[in-house]
Amino acid sequence: MRYFLFIICFFYLNNFFGQTLKGKVYDSNAVVKDIKVFNKTQNRLTVTDKEGNFSIAAKVTDTILFKSIFYHPLEVVLKQTHFDDVNVFEIEKIVSELDEVEIKSEPEQPVFKEETYNEELHNLIKEDIKKNPHLYAPKEAYSGGANLLAIIDLVAKLFKNKNKYKAPKYQPISYTQMDSLFTNSSFFNKRLVTENLKIPEDKTKLFYDFCSAKGISSELLLDEKKMMLLEELVVNSQLFLILLEEYGEDATVKD
């Protein structure tokens, strides 16, 4: 009877004061070293050796945490069977997955189309001319004797006062440069002027003169700036056509 009580006390005290948990840690490929093995219940810590082995003081119902920055944490609540032999614990590696990246091709150079001709802007300019005719036409215009070149010169001066170019190294595009551009360029050709910008063929020279009077920077003649130049020409063509419509008459143009 005394021996039987001794055995019971031995197992009770052994369980109460703790035992030693022995184990080996693997991932899906091999043993893992330097994994932290933390007894959360007793606040004890150890790490696995290069063979993945560890031992730590523990008892039944203790919670053991396996942790590493490269692996998902694993928690195990100990049972009596964990102390019967060396245990094997498998942890899962954290796989770094990059977000899907959409590779886009380099945007193509935009192509000028007839739709670029902005009717809304055309109407806004036309409406402004109706509201403020004195800003666009000289006094003679009210008597029916408007001089188209004088009107264009007045409009050009208004734009020059509002849009002075601040970089002195680029001069305004001259009439000669404008004429040469539409004669020699494969992009800025005469077809673009007559078909896309809607400039009457017999008024193209006058349109070049109008654009040169607007003080457009010669910087826009650079190949990488050609779409900006196109935008300028579109706006100028709309204003030019409105002036032709409102005050148009035969006028002398440059040869």
Q: Report the distance separating Cα 156 and Cα 24, nearest Å.
A: 87
Across the chain, mean pLDDT equals 75
Give per-residue pLDDT as tens, 107-157. Answer: 555 555 555 545 655 666 667 676 766 655 544 444 444 456 666 666 666
Q: What phi, psi does 65 have (nearest 5°)?
A: -115, 125
- Indicate the pTM of the whole model: 0.38
Confidence of residue 52 (pLDDT cuts 50, 70, 90): very high
Cross-strand pairs, 56: 21
> Confidence band (pLDDT; 50, 70, 90) for 19?
confident
Q: What is the mean pLDDT of residues 57-84?
A: 92
